[in-house]
Amino acid sequence: MTDLLPALAAIVGPAHVIAPGHDQAPFVTDWRGRYHGRAEAVVRPADAAQVSEVVKLCVSQGVAVVPQGGNTGMCGAAVPPTEGRAVVLRLDRLNRIRWVSSLGDAIAVDAGCILAEIQQAAERIDRLFPLSLGAEGSCQIGGNLSTNAGGTQVLRYGTMRELCLGLEVVLPDGRLLETMTALRKDSTGYDIKQMFIGAEGTLGIITGAVLKLFPRPRASAVAMGMAENFEQVQALLALARSRLGDRLSSFEAMSRRQVEVIARHMPQVAIPFSLEAGWYVLVELSDTLEGDSLPALLEAMLGEALEKELVMDAIVASSQAQAEGLWRIRHSVSESSKAEGYVVSHDSVVPLERQADFIRGVEQAIEAVSPGATVVMHGHVGDGNMHVLAILDPKAFDDAAALQDRAAAISLAVDGVLVPLGGAISAEHGIGLSNRARLARAAPPLELELMRRFKDLLDPQGLMNPGKILI
């Protein structure tokens, strides 16, 4: 049996192996500080061939492999286990843009490329890569693929799965599955690569991808409005869709309490509305042709909405700076919620028809198990994704265990409302460690059984990111 550390160093070079006790901390803990694992090494291969060698070595020694991108995940999927032998495999050195094509509207990247860098590479050839989310400055595309990331533009461009044309994956036996094609149509049997998207590294390690690009928007307009209740928010969405067609690129909503939390903790963020409405809606239009017709379109739609009493008030941004100011409110939800207390977060998605029922039901259900919890909501209404946060005061709990028990009870209550309405417990954050028990409870048994059978088929030793997704 080879000694693991020198063998890893022989593959990736000694400078790229971090042994225990040597600054491993950032890589064995998630960014929210909720999970802490142990690793015999943090290893940073340079390319897919080295990833393959590392996997072969680890598997031969029965050592688990935990792939890690930007380590910005919300569910602890990139943290090594607390027990057993494991290696954290960082993808950050796989950071090449392999090629971009304006003719084929595609870009091929290493899995460790940072999302914002891919957006910029697309922009340089006058194209758009539309995936957009809070962590885009540090998250890596391999992680985005592994959680089937969503973000604010799914309404128009789809999720990460729909943005992916080709994939390169190191399988649990170390072999390289190469489907790095840029083909827009392909009807040649089972589409194997689909299994690795959203799999959080439990079926293999994504090392590269070919992604779709789009014509770049050349005009946009942003507005914010306030509505009395969620039924009006939905009626506004329906009106916006019929008046604005596919110019509508974002339709975001925040509950009043969410906006109150922002106002309380981030006084530097200007909120140009009174806090008397039930919901605050951010609407963005964009167009791939130049022109100045969008603000007028938006104004006409909002005028009609005012007349129909779907909104109490609304403003259309009259400058880029004002548009950014409105988006800043939306982008302040995470920071302000964190400042408010201990956040029990739910990345729920519910069919639009049931969304109003969900919102009513979930508030009552949380109040029942955690009286006085601050319940705030913000979501991508257009795609049914509503983030429901219960914010607790940690000082009200005897210890961390009591706090976690309460969090679990709240999640149980949320799922009790969500699942019967046909919702899913994770829209875009994934499962990781945080949601394993919820998935086991909420998913249909046959689906769970098939997931387990696929896992056993591809990773019979169970060494690929063990303990994530499936319990």
- CB of 101 vs its own copies, minimal distance in Å: 6
Q: Would you say 160 or 392 has its CB closer to its own copies? A: 160
Q: How far is the CB of 143 from its own copies (least distance, A)?
A: 12
Which residue number, 257 or 468, has a Cβ lying nearer to its own copies?
A: 468
Q: Choose between 412 and 470: whose C-beta lies nearer to its own copies.
A: 470
In whole angstroms, give the CA distance from residue 465 to residue 75.
13
**In angstroms, what is the minimal distance from the CB of 148 to its own copies?**
5
- CA angle (289, 292, 294) in 5-degree steps: 85
Specify whether the CB–CB gap between 383 and 255 falls below 8 A. no
Q: Which is nearer to its own copies, 284 or 428 (by Cβ)?
A: 428
Considering the complex, what minimum distance in angstroms separates the CB of residue 14 from its own copies? 32
Q: Which is nearer to its own copies, 116 or 442 (CB)?
A: 442
Distance linking the first and last C-alpha atoms of the chain: 30
CB of 19 or CB of 235, closer to its own copies: 235
Closer CB to its own copies, residue 374 or residue 434? 434
The least CB distance from residue 418 to its own copies, in Å, is 11
**Nearest distance from residue 452's CB to its own copies, in Å?**
10
Torsion, Cα of 72, 271, 217, 302 (10° steps)? 130
Shortest gap between Cβ of 397 and its own copies (angstroms)? 29
> Among positive and negative, which fits the CA dihedral 96, 11, 68, 160?
positive
